[in-house]
Amino acid sequence: MRLPALSATVAVVIAAVAQGAAPAAADTLVSTVNLEAGAGLHHSSATVTYERVDGAVNSVKIISLQILSSERDCVWLEWNDPQDVSDGWSALNSEPSCYGNSMEETPNRIIKAPKGHQLKVRLGGYHDGGVAVVHKDIAKL
């Protein structure tokens, strides 16, 4: 009688340990931000797909970027990088998308900011090689 009782106890303990040791279901939520800038022949759009980094303060992983530039502009995606000393924004895509072309990248890049610094992304565009941002859309992550 002791052997079956011991076996039942061991089975319950093993089940409890296994249940506690099993990884929790993925509670990481993949989100998207859609951005648009300009109008008419200057209309550009982008989608940023990202997820929060578990256990990290104010960190997200940029999974993918989809960009469609207008017929007359070049556009890019940036994030408000607290370490950037020039204008506070750093590029997310490797190069601008220009003149009606689309671009998709999967950087799988983690961006971080100190607590209290709201992470944002923006789609910026400029006309014919100019350096000024003429159209932009900003969204919080």
Give the residue with greater pLDDT, 16 vs 139. Answer: 139
Q: What is the pLDDT of residues 38-90, one digit of tens each?
A: 888 889 999 999 999 988 888 999 999 999 999 988 999 999 999 998 999 99
- Average pLDDT for 92-99: 93
Question: What per-residue confidence (pLDDT) applies to 21?
Answer: 43
**Residue 37's closest CA among 94, 103, 122?**
122
- If you average pLDDT over every residue of the chain, what do you get? 82
- Average pLDDT for 95-117: 94
Question: What per-residue confidence (pLDDT) applies to 127?
Answer: 78
Q: Inform me whether the pLDDT recorded for 20 exceeds 60.
A: no
Q: Who contacts 68 (Cβ-Cβ below 8 Å, separation ≥6)?
A: 44, 45, 46, 97, 100, 101, 102
Q: Range with the lowest mean pLDDT among 30-34, 48-52, 87-91, 122-126? A: 122-126
Q: Who contacts 117 (Cβ-Cβ below 8 Å, separation ≥6)?
A: 58, 80, 82
Question: What per-residue confidence (pLDDT) applies to 131?
Answer: 58
- Average pLDDT for 30-44: 92
